[in-house]
Amino acid sequence: MMDLNTNTVVDIQLVQSNEVGGSCHMEKEGLTRSLALLESRGVNLDCIVTDRHPQVQKFLRERKITHYYDVWHMAKGLSKKLEAISKQKDCEILKKWMKSINNHIYWTAAGSTSEPERIAKWNAILNHVRDVHTHEDPLYPKCEHAIRKTTDKSKWLQADSQAFNKLEKLLTNKRMLKDVAKLSPHHQTSSLEAFHAVILRFAPKNVVFTFIGMLCRLYLAAMHYNENADRPQAETEEGVPLFKISFPKGRKGECIAKPQKTQPTFGYVANLMDLLFEEVFVNPTPYTDALLAISVPEDLSAQYEKPDKDELIASFVSRFKRGAV
């Protein structure tokens, strides 16, 4: 759980799949535990921004908690569907509009104050791609951009074309309009994605950790992120802001410039060392009790019967062993 106003990780819940009957239930269980903790501490939630996980949608709806969807996750899914349509016969023209439609979904979320207004602005893109900039919906009667005379008339879609019909079907289906209405106008989960990148440095996925070991590494990742989340942009001695060149995977070769941050600090390490030597070593009992109070689920392999090792070795046969010719 992250406070998007302060860009700070406020809670971490580690859930193992055998605690909840399968991996598909882990995300909801983690959210349930975090909300219970925040409520016990007297924290009042204004809203929650997540991806479009169905179980999370239902859970927050039943709890009557304002729920918004992250724009990046929705734009990512839409881009994949647009790319698939653009590869079909007579639909290649949609490749010219993919970036504009992607930008439009961000603008719709950020520039709207109500659900009907978001839907009105979202539907306006179907007129815009046909070079029509006035709309039937009174909530958004015309485009806000300056009307310019185009030099490339071939980019506009025709109302009776196959490309336009498939685009209209995709952008105005019932689920799409329902999800557009709930796009987050305030905050997005990009900071959370950045924190996930930090977690991979402390707990690589190709290394197996014990439950307590994993939990400790997650806490360390959170402390490192919270200390360095809002680092300023690095500058030269003359005060010129520094940038770095990046090739994001999602942009498929398109190069972008990103602000280069100052070097991270590690003040939390010194604080932990002070805590260890000044308090834990002096009186370890309360810390030992707190550690033992953590509910540790049994290993995933514990649900399987462990055979005799000697019998298992005796039954070993290599698939690549060849007999005498």
CB atoms within 10 A of CB 183: 23
Q: Report the candidate in 141, 148, 106, 110 with the shortest Cα–Cα distance to residue 127.
A: 141
pLDDT, one tens digit per residue, over 201-228 is 999 999 999 999 999 999 999 999 999 9
Per cent of the chain over pLDDT 90 is 66
Name residue 50's beta-bridge partners: 69
CA distances, 274 to each of 166, 213, 267, 269 (Å): 63, 21, 11, 9
Confidence of residue 260 (pLDDT cuts 50, 70, 90): very high
Query: CB within 8 A of 127, min separation 6: which ones?
Result: 133, 134, 135
Torsion of CA 115, 66, 180, 104, to 10 degrees: 90
Is 239 strand, coil or helix? coil
- Mean predicted lDDT score pLDDT of the chain: 90
pLDDT, one tens digit per residue, over 264-303 is 999 999 999 999 999 999 999 999 999 999 999 998 888 8
Name residue 68's beta-bridge partners: 49
Query: CB within 8 A of 198, min separation 6: which ones?
Result: 221, 224, 225
Sign of CA dihedral 229, 235, 241, 246: negative
